[in-house]
């Protein structure tokens, strides 16, 4: 199956306490970094982290999503809009735009969703100020989620005229396809909508096993949910002053991965015009049908239901489904290394809905949509400094090769060691080159490879790298790395884009203004160049021309040269021929 190892431990580190409840361990793991990490970081816990500190950090992480969720705004006035589906009831958001929460589709458990035929508030509510419940997921209070979760929140500038034909930004949240929501930290779209004079729609879709592991075989239910969200918007946007032909998709992490999925779905092509992908872990690729079948069979055994036993499926409690999901995610890499540890439940290259891998393993299709592709400077920071080796203590040079070997396998490790791109200082902290390697391998270099392929085959692409960010709440836990001057960790771009940074510095405020101006131009023209801003050159099939966002000039190429990652050192999707 390739050269990635499927088990073992990194020397010098200890495993989680033997016999610890698997679901408890998994509650801790993903909160830090959306589970986008090399395999090693899932299995080890440095000996210096005491069990007291471990339990304390678990409590902080478990509370964090609830404490930082968007909460209902103070109601200034009720608003209503007549739509083809009935009257939309909303409220004036605290940040100044009209906010409308709505159910866009309904579904029975593990059945394809159907678009609603009338305007409905989420979860059967009669309160237009209420926010939708999340989709079922671990590590949150069960009272905050419901299977009735196919909802979205629209943010509409109060002065947007009915005949504006305004663009719409559809935001798809991250969370490794098994967590997250439209009400996550910083996702209030009011300021972004006002700054861009657009409608901002933040959507939810079924997560984890409920969205990607239907026992009777249908794959990609979560992908179909997002397609239904776009079809719903096409019906109602004109009523709010929007134009259904001017939809731009935007998302971060697995949300960007969902957008990449939709780019590979021919039937969805007419539903959006442009796409913005932020920190997509493209290294993983899609799941193959063989890997999906194995995971599905194992999941069916875990829930003790036959594939066609609908009565058994419907009798399952959400706790039992989530427990089975956690067990499967924990064991997926051992079942099939192609599943990986970071995002084992993800869209499937089924050949019917998703027809191309959109990577370097197959002929690339002809494309024409404009893309805006960004990463943050230290996407791998939470992986290396927050979970793998937390704390202030530097790690010896001797740890670098074993960690690489476990994550990449011996062949790719030797290529990395011989390359000179990740020099290890014998007297320094090996976490420094490990973080750069993790960022390159999982995020930055595969993104640049996609940009080159996209441009070669007819599309346009603008590539950026955030050199300034705003620390996202989970990045405050169990590490000092992500709060260091000049460090921009995974998810630290979200507050910047939405303009929701708490007490922003002048530099953060300036970058927010810049990015919102660029997003406004990109949504309307497919080009992020705006008057008064430094030119942003498009990528070519050779030079990606990655603009630094937060500082001047282009980002250095480093190991993301076409001759190294994706060629001499292969991505996971190449190793496993997905």
| Catalytic residue annotation | 253
The whole-angstrom separation of Cα 176 and Cα 166 is: 31
Enter the tokens of residue 324.
């089975």
The whole-angstrom separation of Cα 327 and Cα 314 is: 20
The length of the chain, given as a count of residues: 578
Q: How many CA atoms lie within 13 A of 194 on its CB side?
A: 17
| Count of other CB atoms within 10 angstroms of residue 162 | 12
Write down the residue that tokens 């239901």 correspond to.
305
Enter the tokens of residue 76.
């200034």
Q: Where are the beta strands (DSSP E) in 377-499?
A: 460-466
The whole-angstrom separation of Cα 311 and Cα 336 is: 30
Closest to 367 (Cα-Cα) out of 376, 357, 358, 355: 358
SS3 102: strand
| Sign of the four-CA dihedral 108, 114, 120, 121 | positive
The whole-angstrom separation of Cα 442 and Cα 432 is: 16
Closest to 349 (Cα-Cα) out of 433, 244, 264: 264
Give the residues across from 87 on adjacent strands.
82
Say what the alpha-carbon torsion angle 155, 466, 261, 209 is, to the nearest 10 degrees.
-80
User: DSSP letters along 454-472, please?
Assistant: HHHTT-EEEEEEESS----
| Sign of the four-CA dihedral 242, 248, 252, 256 | positive
Q: How many CA atoms lie within 13 A of 40 on its CB side?
A: 26
At a CB cut-off of 8 Å and minimum separation 6, what does 503 contact? Answer: none
Enter the tokens of residue 520.
């406004």
Closest to 171 (Cα-Cα) out of 70, 96, 255: 255
SS3 401: helix
User: DSSP letters along 293-342, please?
Assistant: HHHHHHHHHHHT--TT-HHHHHH--HHHHHHHHHHHHHHHHHH-TTT-SS
The whole-angstrom separation of Cα 109 and Cα 439 is: 37
Closest to 203 (Cα-Cα) out of 178, 233, 176: 233
């Amino acid at each position: 199956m390739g050269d990635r190892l499927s088990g073992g431990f990194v020397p010098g580190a200890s495993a989680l306490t033997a016999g610890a409840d698997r679901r408890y361990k998994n509650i801790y793991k993903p909160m830090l970094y959306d589970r986008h990490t090399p395999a090693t970081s899932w299995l080890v816990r440095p000996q210096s982290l005491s069990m007291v500190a471990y339990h304390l950090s678990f409590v902080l992480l478990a509370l964090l999503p609830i404490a930082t969720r968007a909460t209902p705004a103070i109601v200034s006035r009720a608003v209503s809009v007549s739509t083809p589906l009935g009257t939309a009831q909303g409220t004036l958001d605290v940040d100044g735009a009209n906010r409308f929460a709505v159910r866009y589709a309904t579904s029975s458990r593990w059945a394809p969703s159907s678009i609603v035929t009338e305007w409905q508030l989420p979860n059967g509510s009669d309160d237009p100020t209420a926010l939708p419940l999340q989709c079922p997921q671990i590590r949150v209070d069960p009272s905050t989620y419901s299977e009735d979760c196919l909802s979205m929140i629209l943010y509409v500038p109060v002065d947007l005229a009915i005949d504006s034909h305004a663009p719409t930004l559809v935001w798809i949240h991250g969370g490794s396809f098994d967590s997250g929501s439209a009400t996550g930290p910083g996702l209030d779209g009011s300021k972004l909508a006002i700054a861009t004079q657009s409608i901002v729609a933040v959507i939810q879709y079924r997560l984890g096993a409920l969205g990607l592991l239907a026992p009777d075989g249908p794959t990609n239910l979560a992908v179909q949910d997002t397609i239904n969200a776009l079809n719903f918007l096409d019906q109602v946007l004109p009523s709010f002053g929007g134009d259904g032909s001017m939809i731009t998709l935007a998302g971060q992490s697995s949300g960007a991965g969902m957008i990449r999925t939709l780019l590979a779905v021919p039937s969805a092509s007419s539903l959006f015009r442009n796409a913005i992908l932020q920190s997509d872990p493209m290294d993983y690729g899609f799941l193959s049908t063989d890997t999906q079948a194995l995971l599905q069979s194992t999941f069916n055994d875990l829930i003790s239901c036959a594939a066609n036993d609908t009565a058994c499926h419907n009798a399952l409690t959400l706790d039992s489904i989530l427990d089975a999901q956690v067990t499967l995610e924990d064991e997926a890499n051992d079942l099939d290394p192609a599943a990986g540890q970071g995002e084992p439940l993800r869209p499937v290259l089924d050949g019917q809905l998703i027809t191309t891998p959109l990577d370097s393993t197959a002929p690339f299709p002809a494309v024409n949509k404009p893309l805006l592709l960004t990463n943050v400077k230290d996407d791998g920071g939470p992986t290396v400094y927050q979970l793998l080796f937390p704390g202030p203590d530097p790690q010896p040079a001797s740890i670098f090769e074993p960690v690489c070997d476990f994550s990449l396998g011996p062949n790719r490790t030797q290529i990395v060691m011989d390359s000179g791109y990740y020099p290890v200082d014998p007297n320094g902290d090996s976490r420094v080159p490990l973080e750069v390697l993790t960022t390159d391998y999982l995020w930055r270099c595969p993104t640049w490879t996609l940009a080159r392929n996209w441009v070669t085959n007819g599309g346009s692409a603008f590539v950026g790298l955030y050199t300034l960010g705003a620390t996202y709440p989970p990045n405050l836990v169990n590490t000092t790395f992500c709060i260091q001057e000049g460090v921009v960790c995974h998810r630290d771009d979200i507050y910047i884009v939405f303009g929701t940074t708490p007490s922003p510095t002048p530099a953060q405020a300036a970058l927010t203004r810049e990015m919102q101006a660029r997003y406004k131009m990109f949504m309307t023209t497919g080009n992020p160049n705006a008057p008064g801003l430094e030119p942003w050159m498009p990528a070519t099939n050779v030079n990606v021309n990655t603009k630094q966002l937060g500082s001047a000039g282009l980002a250095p190429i480093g190991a993301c040269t076409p001759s190294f990652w994706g060629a001499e050192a292969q991505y996971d999707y190449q190793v496993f021929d997905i």
